């Protein structure tokens, strides 16, 4: 109800502020008897962690996960999994003007208007750091999906004006942009680097492809598979849009071009991006999200303080000049959470999710 829980049956609740004692997650509805170790979760967290390359913030956040409950003798027990990530750098600091001034492009203003109080240290609850808890949860969701052979792969397909021309999943982790087109990766890295040098930031696109989802997953009407994925992706800070399959281009198209004919194996083309009427068809699920340029930039910006008085602000600190590379594992995690939940819901309805 207050928006810190995601999912109906397989359900993630996250907590924590970026500069409080800890971040964490409680996962409920985890099927019992799944083999699970902290190392598996850590592997996904390490993909999201800052400081992996010259393109990301050099902040040092080890993001070490501890499993507090729900696992016994290496297996899930069916009880809630609590995952804890301590914040290591909590020393009292001078937040200076950030304590009273709203950063443009940030949630500060809204939080203050909503609650009348805000934890201004590093963004508090609205910090991108909160997504570490999602990635931890997503790692468990992947375990639920594993027996179905579901593969979820996201990559950065645009940075500024540079676009990927192919989606070679296997190459994504080979470059720091996490671009699935090795030919475009270097150019993207340059765009990011040049934004950083200009004390600026740059936006991009992330695409996600999912194979192996059994036809039939997804709920009709309000909880369509695409509606849930859209909900999941727009819940990520900085995401300004989503499109499925051929996306916005279908607006200019005719039905005779856009319909995917069916063959014995399912859809023979995939304009729809693997979802019809909100339900998986078995074809590859494809969506793209629009990611805005990081709002924290070390340039003077116009703003106001809590009393509404005009102020100029320069945001110091080390921020990612482009959100996309580190968003890739988060997008995958959110997709996994959506699918694990729908798997359980399908099972509840018919007793069988295949």
User: Nearer Cβ to a copy of itself, position 109 or 167?
Assistant: 109
User: Nearer Cβ to a copy of itself, position 23 or 208?
Assistant: 23
Contacting range for a copy of itself; rule: CB under 8 A; set: 38-46, 52-60, 165-173, 292-300: 292-300
Among 53, 193, 290, 306, binds a copy of itself (CB under 8 A): 290
State how far the Cα of 113 lies from the Cα of 352, in Å rounded to an integer: 46
Among 52, 270, 278, 306, binds a copy of itself (CB under 8 A): 278
> For 277, which DSSP code?
T
State how far the Cα of 297 lies from the Cα of 188, in Å rounded to an integer: 19
* Bridge partners, residue 159, by sequence: 162, 204
Among 154, 179, 280, 335, binds a copy of itself (CB under 8 A): 280
Q: Is the dihedral of CA 60, 134, 329, 289 positive or negative?
A: negative
- Minimum gap (Å) between residue 30 Cβ and a copy of itself: 8
By CB under 8 A, the residues from 100 to 159 that bind a copy of itself are: 102, 104-111, 113-119, 124-126, 130, 158
C-alpha 42: how far from chain center: 16
By CB under 8 A, the residues from 33 to 92 that bind a copy of itself are: 33, 66-70, 72, 75, 77-82, 84
State how far the Cα of 346 lies from the Cα of 319, in Å rounded to an integer: 41
Half-sphere exposure of 113 (CA within 13 A, CB side): 8
Residues in Cβ contact with 266 at an 8 Å cutoff, skipping those fewer than 6 apart:
215, 281, 282, 283
Instruction: Please tell me whether residue 211 binds a copy of itself under the rule CB under 8 A.
Output: no
Contacting range for a copy of itself; rule: CB under 8 A; set: 36-44, 46-54, 171-179, 269-277: 269-277
Q: How many residues bind a copy of itself (CB under 8 A)?
A: 155
Angle at 313 between CA 60 and CA 104, to 5 degrees: 80
By CB under 8 A, the residues from 293 to 352 that bind a copy of itself are: 293-297, 299, 301-304, 308-310, 344-352
SS3 assignment, position 265 = coil
Instruction: Please tell me whether residue 164 binds a copy of itself under the rule CB under 8 A.
Output: no
CB count, 10 Å around CB of 221? Answer: 8
Give the DSSP letter string of 20-44.
Answer: SSEEEEEEESPPTT-B--HHHHHHH
- Minimum gap (Å) between residue 170 Cβ and a copy of itself: 24
Instruction: Please tell me whether residue 244 binds a copy of itself under the rule CB under 8 A.
Output: yes
User: Nearer Cβ to a copy of itself, position 91 or 222?
Assistant: 222
Instruction: Please tell me whether residue 245 binds a copy of itself under the rule CB under 8 A.
Output: yes
User: Nearer Cβ to a copy of itself, position 40 or 119?
Assistant: 119
Among 41, 232, 327, 328, binds a copy of itself (CB under 8 A): 232
Tell the burial category of 175 from Cβ atoms under 10 Å away from its Cβ (0-12, 13-18, 19+).
Answer: buried
User: Nearer Cβ to a copy of itself, position 52 or 269?
Assistant: 269
């Amino acid at each position: 109800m207050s928006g810190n829980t995601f999912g109906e049956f397989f359900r993630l609740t996250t907590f924590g502020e970026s500069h409080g004692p800890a971040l964490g997650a409680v996962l409920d509805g985890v099927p019992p008897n799944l083999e699970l170790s902290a190392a598996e979760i850590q592997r996904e967290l390490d993909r999201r962690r800052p400081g992996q390359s010259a393109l990301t913030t050099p902040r040092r956040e080890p993001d070490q996960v501890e499993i507090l409950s729900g696992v016994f003798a290496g297996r899930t027990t069916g009880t809630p999994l609590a995952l804890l990530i301590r914040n290591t750098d909590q020393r009292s600091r001078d937040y200076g003007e950030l304590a009273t001034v709203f950063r443009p492009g940030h949630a500060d203003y809204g939080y203050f208007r909503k609650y009348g109080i805000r934890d201004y240290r590093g963004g508090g609850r609205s910090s991108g750091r909160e997504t570490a808890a999602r990635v931890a949860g997503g790692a468990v969701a992947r375990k639920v999906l594993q027996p179905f052979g579901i593969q979820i792969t996201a990559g950065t397909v645009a940075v500024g004006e540079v676009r990927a021309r192919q989606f070679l999943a296997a190459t994504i982790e080979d470059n720091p942009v996490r671009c699935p087109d090795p030919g475009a990766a270097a150019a993207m890295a340059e765009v990011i680097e040049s934004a950083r040098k200009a004390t600026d930031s740059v936006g991009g696109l992330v695409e996600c492809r999912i194979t192996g989802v059994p036809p039939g997953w997804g709920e009709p009407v309000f909880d369509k598979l695409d509606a849930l994925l859209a909900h999941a992706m727009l819940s990520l800070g900085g995401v300004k849009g989503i499109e499925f399959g051929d996306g916005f281009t279908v607006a200019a198209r005719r039905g005779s071009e856009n319909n995917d004919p069916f063959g014995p194996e399912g859809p023979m083309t995939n304009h729809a991006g693997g979802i019809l009427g909100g339900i998986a068809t078995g074809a590859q699920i494809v969506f793209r999200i629009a990611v805005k340029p990081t709002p924290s930039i070390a340039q003077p910006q116009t703003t106001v303080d809590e009393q509404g008085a005009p102020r100029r602000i320069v945001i110091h600190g080390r921020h990612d000049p482009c959100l996309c590379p580190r968003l890739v594992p988060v997008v995958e995690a959110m997709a996994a959470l959506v699918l694990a939940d729908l798997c359980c819901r399908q099972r509840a309805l018919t007793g069988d999710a295949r």
